[in-house]
Amino acid sequence: MKMQLAEIAKALDSELNNGEETVITSVEFDSRKAAADSLFVPLQGSRDGHEFIESAIENGAAATLWKKGHPGKPENFPVIEVEDPLKALQKLAKYYLTKVNPTVVGITGSNGKTTTKDMVSAVLSKRFNVHKTQGNFNNEIGVPITILEMKPSTEIVVLEMGMDRPGQLHHLSELVRPDVCVITMIGEAHIEFFGSRDKIADAKMEITDFLKEDGKFIYNGDEPLLRQRAEKIKQETGTFGFNDTDDVYATEFDSQMRKATFSVNNTKQKFTIPMIGKHNVSNALAALSVGRHFGETDEEIAAALAHFTPTANRMEWKTGDVGEAIMDDIYNSNPTAVNAVVKSFGQVKVENNGRRIAVLGDMLELGTKSPQLHAELAPIFDPKVINELYLYGPEMKNLYDALLEKYDQDHLHYYAQDKMNKLNADLEEDIKADDIVLLKASHGMHLEKVLDNLL
Question: Cβ neighbours of residue 31 under 8 Å, at least 6 residues apart?
Answer: 40, 49, 52, 53, 55, 56, 59, 61
- Checking 70-78 for CB contacts under 8 A at 24+ apart, the result is 78/5, 78/16, 78/17, 78/18, 78/19, 78/22
Domain residue ranges of the chain, discontinuous segments joined by +? 3-83, 102-307, 316-454
CA angle 383, 389, 391 (to 5 degrees): 145
pLDDT at residue 313, as a whole number: 65
Tens digit of pLDDT for each residue in 404-442?
999 998 999 999 999 999 999 999 999 999 999 999 999
| Half-sphere exposure for 423 (CA within 13 Å, toward CB) | 29
- pLDDT classification of 189: cutoffs 50, 70, 90: low
Query: What is the average per-residue pLDDT within 315-323?
Result: 89
Q: How many other C-beta atoms lie within 10 A of the C-beta of residue 432?
A: 13
CATH number of 316-454: 3.90.190.20
Model pTM score: 0.85
In CATH, 102-307 is 3.40.1190.10: yes
Per-residue confidence (pLDDT) for residue 239, from 0 to 100: 98
Report the distance separating Cα 268 and Cα 370, nearest Å.
44
Better-predicted residue by pLDDT, 197 or 419: 419
Rounded CA separation 118/112 (Å): 10
Instruction: Inform me whether the pLDDT recorded for 195 exceeds 80.
Output: no
Give the CA distances from residue 351 to residues 160, 389, 393, in Å, rounded to whole numbers and listed in that order. 38, 19, 31
29 and 89 Cβ atoms separated by less than 8 Å: yes
CB of 348 closer than 8 Å to CB of 277: no
Q: CB–CB of 214/250 below 8 Å?
A: no
Q: Provide the 3-class DSSP secondary structure of residue 424.
A: helix
Give the pLDDT score at 329.
87
* CATH number given to 3-83: 3.40.1390.10
Check pLDDT > 90 for residue 389: yes
CA-wise closest residue to 294 among 228, 216, 220: 216
Q: Give the number of residues written for the chain.
A: 455
d(CA 14, CA 6) in angstroms, rounded, equals 10
Domains 3-83 and 316-454 share a fold: no
